[in-house]
Amino acid sequence: MSKRIGLEASHAAAEAARMADVDVIAAYPITPQTHIPERLAEMVANGELNAAYIPVESEHSALSACLGAAAVGARTFTATAGQGLELMHEVVYVASSMRYPIVMTICNRALSAPLSVWGDHSDAMAVRDTGWIQVFCQNNQEAFDMTLWAFRVGEDSRVLFPVMVHFDGFHLSHVTEPVILPEQKEVDKFLPRFQYPFALNPDKPMTHGAFGPPDIYSEAKIAQEVAFRKSKDVIIQGFKEFGDIFGRYYHPVEPYKTEGAKLLLLTMGSFSETAKIAIDTMRNKGESVGLINLRLWRPFPFRELRQAVKDAETIIVFDRCISFGGPGGPVSSEIRSALYNEKERPRVVSFVGGLGGRDMSVKDFEYVVDRGREILEKGSEELFETVGIRGEVTGIRG
Amino acid sequence: MAEKRLKTGSDFTWRDMEVGNIVTEAGSAALRRTGDWRSQRPIIDKERCNKCGLCWLYCPDAAIKLLEDGYYETDLFYCKGCGICAKVCAREAITMIEEEEK
């Protein structure tokens, strides 16, 4: 029997790693991710999990240790947040380019300065182009589900890419919610043993990490890019298989009450659940609004997004990150790019808010929709809009 | 796989890249001419050589081979022309000459 217990998202992710029977964990504690390595270290110490727990001196070392573990075919897990992910940055590229299917949980956190340990998507957006499969979670159940799913998809011989599972620092990482934990035999059915086809072994020597001179580097990158984009089929198949066993079906792009809606709000992560309540409220008032929860961030689900928004006139994209001097939030810029070459395309309004742990309430999302509508009618000289900033915001122009 | 690795230039496309750029066969460097960026090459003077083996020991690319008669020979397929052998030779039996010189 599966059981329903109260867990914070951090502990839910740790439970998923335990049930996945990971072989190696190398992690460095950083707020708000600390509870994940802490709980896993406890499980290893108590004998609940038969794994090597490697305490390291930094996040750079944490992911470097994971590379070595993955190279010999170990199921490998790590977790970090904010500044920790920044310190790892160099190795983040190495993991994906060497095709090591490491699973890494990110408890999304703002970036300094000013120093902030609180929730924000700036850390995730800074690793946007690193070639990791990336998904966002709305709640603690999804933190468990996506972590388990990440091993299944990343380790698939058709994929062999590392996976980042993002959930919001504090808003999820430290908040207790009911989570359904499956039986071990269900997990084992979903997740076969990891069989890495290129595992280092002295009996059959091979070279990992050879250098690429100019006559080969470009070919290496295109091969990586084509394989990465192809992984989307397995990602979707993995969602389906997960649903067939555990009863919860996920999708790259998840519409909520979009039937007949001319105006759509697009959000990621835990704020999607808050925004859904705002959509309910506005729908009850008879407004034609719906929501898109963007789950799969990389590889970007272009086809699925276009399909989901094909009848909309407007999309309001909500970002928890600023792209300084750029077109607004990174997600809004992505959505615009995805739609620009379409013959008929909705207008995109970019909103930035919820930075550095600032709450976004249901009322705030209602304001976002109302203000978005107003901009469509009257226009605006600003490249993007803000919500919840004290003082009128002007001067965000090209 | 070794055959695949031997493809060069326009024959080798992105589709020939192994997953993660892994080189699946050990010792594949033996198949690759890596001495072609050399601008100088070592000449060993047998008259001065006393077969001590310092050059063989110090060569960073194992490009110096021990011959049956105890003397040494440079394998120009791999030799990068770094000149370490000439520097360490206690008998000054090795001279670096420009690659264009006969």
Q: Which of residues 60-99 of A touch B (CB under 8 A)?
A: 97-99
**pLDDT score for A270:** 98
Contact A98 B21 (CB under 8 A): yes
Question: A100 vs B20: CB contact, 8 Å cut-off?
Answer: yes
Whether chain A has a CB inside 8 Å of the CB on B92: the answer is no
pTM beyond 0.90, yes or no: yes
Assign B9 a pLDDT band (cuts: 50, 70, 90): low
Same domain, B53 and B94: yes
Give the integer Cα–Cα distance in Å for A359 and A372: 19
Residue given tokens 């928890």 in the structure block? A320
Q: Answer whether residue B7 shows pLDDT above 90.
A: no
Section B16-27 average pLDDT: 91
CA distance A331 to A268: 9
Distance from CA of B96 to the nearest CA of A (A): 27
Burial pattern A183-194, b for ≥16 Cβ within 10 A else e, equals eeeebeebbeeb
Instruction: Say yes or no: B40 and B72 in one domain.
Output: yes
**Sequence-ordered list of residues with C-beta below 8 angstroms from that of A313, at least 6 positions apart, any chain:** A262, A263, A346, A347
* Whole-number pLDDT of residue B8: 62
Per-residue confidence (pLDDT) for residue A161, from 0 to 100: 98
Q: A97 to chain B: which residues are within 8 Å by CB?
A: 20-21
CATH of the domain at B41: 3.30.70.20
Residue A284 has φ and ψ, to the nearest 5°, of -65, -25
pLDDT of residue A398: 85
Q: Mark yes or no for CB contact B19/A160 under 8 Å.
A: yes
**Please, are residues A182 and A143 in contact by the beta-carbon 8 Å criterion?**
no
Decide if A234 contacts A156 (C-beta within 8 A): yes
User: Under an 8 A CB cutoff, do A207 and B26 touch?
Assistant: yes
State yes or no: pLDDT of B3 exceeds 80.
Answer: no
Q: A225 touching B, CB under 8 A?
A: no
Cα–Cα distance measured from residue A32 to residue B69, given in angstroms and rounded to the nearest whole number: 69
pLDDT of residue B2: 43
What angle (nearest 5°) sits at the alpha carbon of residue A156, between those of residues A99 and B16?
A: 50
Sites in chain A below the pLDDT cut of 50: none
Return the domain boundaries, chain A. 3-246, 253-386
How distant is the alpha carbon of residue A36 from its chain centre? 16
Question: pLDDT tier at B37 (50, 70, 90 boundaries)?
Answer: confident
The verdict on domain A3-246 having CATH code 3.80.10.10 is no
Which residue range forms the structural domain that includes residue B21?
1-32
Residue A97: closest CA among chain B residues belongs to which residue?
Answer: B20
Q: Are A305 and A260 in contact (CB under 8 A)?
A: no
Chain CA centroid to CA B11, Å: 25
Distance to chain B for A149, nearest Cα, Å: 22
A253-386 CATH pick, 3.40.50.920, 3.40.50.300, 1.10.10.10, 3.40.605.10 = 3.40.50.920
pLDDT confidence of residue A76: 98
pLDDT of residue A11: 98
- pLDDT digit string, tens, across residues A160-216: 999 999 999 999 999 999 999 999 999 999 999 999 999 999 999 999 999 898 989
Number of domains in chain B: 2
Contacts of A83 (CB under 8 A, 6+ apart): A30, A109, A111, A112, A123
* CA A33/CA A183 separation, integer angstroms: 26
Q: Which of B13, B14, B22 sits opposite A198 (nearest CB)?
A: B22
**Is residue B20 less than 8 Å (CB to CB) from chain A?**
yes
Question: Do A7 and A175 touch, CB atoms closer than 8 A?
Answer: no
